[in-house]
Structure formats: C-alpha cells, structure tokens
Amino acid sequence: MEKEQVLYDSPEAAQLKTNLSSWLSRDGRLFGENEHLACYCGATHINCEDCGEVRRINTNCEPCWEKKQKEKFDLMPFEKWDGEAPVAIFVTDTYFFDLGYFLHYCDVHELKPEEIDLVFCEPNYANQIDADYWCDDIFEGGELPAEMAEALDKSNEIIGRNKTILSWSPGNKRAIY
C-alpha cells in the first residue's frame, strides 16, 4: 500500500505560520515553551549552583573546583616521601624525580615544601594491542589475515613481558615531605 505523495513545492509540504509562540535561543533555534533550554543554549555563562560565582557554561567555577580538589586531596592516604620516588603536584603536570629539583622549584616559586600538595606517581606501561583496533577497516564478518593475527599475538606477548616504564601519572596517595 502506497502512502500519499507530497512534492517539495506543494503547499501541503510546509506552511508559513505567523502566530507561533516559542522561545528562540540566541543562535536562532526554537524551543517551544521550554524557556530554560532556550536560555541555556543561548547563554555563554551561568551562575554557579553552589556559590553563585559567574562561570562559563559546561565548566566549573574556579573557587568550587579548587575546594573540591582540596577535599579530594585531603582524603587521600599519605606516606613520607623519600626524595627519590617520582611525585607530582596534585592536579598539575608538574613532576619531580628527585629532591634537589623539588627544592629548587620551591625556591624559585618562593614556596615552602609543605605548602605544595604532592602525590606519588604511578608508572605507565605499554598497553597490549587489541585486534578491535581495525574493526572499522574490516568488512562485517571479516577477520584479520592470519599472518597479521599471528604477528599481533607475538607483539602482545612481548608487550606483556616488558615492564619498561614509558611515563608517569599522578597517583592517589599523598607524598608528605
């Protein structure tokens, strides 16, 4: 059974309505009676729900973000730093691999070592390669060629045995100086 056919240039395809009542966002999108969504989509900034500070949409305000990070840091277990294990300043990309460099950093920034929120770092190792890496390149129901699958297995075996540290990431334990 065939449905009714309506051509593009037919008056039935679309009609101009001049009595429309709808919220229009700044970028020209209509939101019907949803004032909240129209305002949210048209705004660049909003007041923080917690402190009232003005912040960009889809971000945290700086004071509340810092407060939450400090609370998170304070809840972490801690251990005395030996001055040799890799550490980082919490929620930054500033790393220290020895006590001398850390003390130099404190001196340059005119900070006392105990004023800096340090966390121990955790090592990052090579990840094994999953054959799904090529899933978008293989046709549906297809598989990697046997030679590639075999090479992948050998590579993953080598990666699994190799415990070379590739880099470091901040961990979840405070380092007390």
Closest alpha carbon to 102 in 88, 91, 90? 88
pLDDT values of the chain reduced to their tens digit, one per residue, 177 residues: 667 888 898 888 887 777 888 898 988 888 988 999 999 999 999 999 899 999 999 999 999 999 999 999 999 999 999 999 999 999 999 999 999 999 999 999 999 999 999 999 999 999 999 988 888 888 888 888 999 999 999 999 999 999 999 999 999 999 998
Query: How many alpha carbons lie under 13 Å from residue 154 in its C-beta half-sphere?
Result: 6
Contacts with 163 (C-beta within 8 Å, 6 or more apart), sequence order: 125
Closest alpha carbon to 120 in 78, 72, 167? 78
What's the token pair of residue 106?
């404190």
- What are the residue ranges spanned by the domains of the chain? 21-75, 131-161
Is 81 within 8 Å of 118 (Cβ atoms)? Answer: yes
pTM of the model: 0.68
